[in-house]
């Protein structure tokens, strides 16, 4: 199945933009992000803490809907899904 993973702001700088990848059936949201993040150690460390959990400030979305970091490991991805990963958002 084909999944599009989009990184924004600082994460985009680390991963080079949108990534379209093939994922095996049963892949979780967290598993998909970890697989891609594993290609860049600095990027992995920016998204995940020492225990392998998403850092508390990371914002996750699946097909335009927010996903709670605590549920990401149990949230499956499906063919055609778009995953978005944002760093903390600040305004002024």
Q: How far apart are CA 9 and CA 70, in angstroms?
A: 22
Domains parsed from the chain with CATH numbers: 2-86 (3.10.20.30)
The 10 Å Cβ neighbour count of residue 2 is 11
pLDDT tens digits, residue range 12-32?
999 988 999 999 999 999 999
| CA-wise closest residue to 58 among 33, 80, 81, 21 | 33
Q: How far apart are CA 65 and CA 11, in angstroms?
A: 19
pLDDT tens digits, residue range 53-68?
999 899 999 999 999 9
Written as six digits, the tokens of 50 are: 């020492």
pTM above 0.75, yes or no: yes
Give bridge partners of residue 28 from the DSSP assignment. Answer: 76
């Amino acid at each position: 199945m084909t999944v599009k993973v989009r990184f924004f702001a600082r994460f985009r700088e680390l991963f080079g933009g949108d990534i379209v990848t093939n994922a095996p059936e049963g892949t979780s949201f967290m598993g998909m992000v970890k697989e891609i993040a594993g290609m860049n150690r600095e990027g992995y460390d920016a998204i995940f803490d020492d225990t392998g959990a998403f850092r508390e400030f990371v914002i996750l979305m699946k097909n335009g809907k927010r996903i709670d970091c605590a549920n990401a490991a149990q949230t499956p991805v499906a063919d055609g899904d778009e995953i978005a990963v944002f760093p903390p958002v600040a305004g002024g």
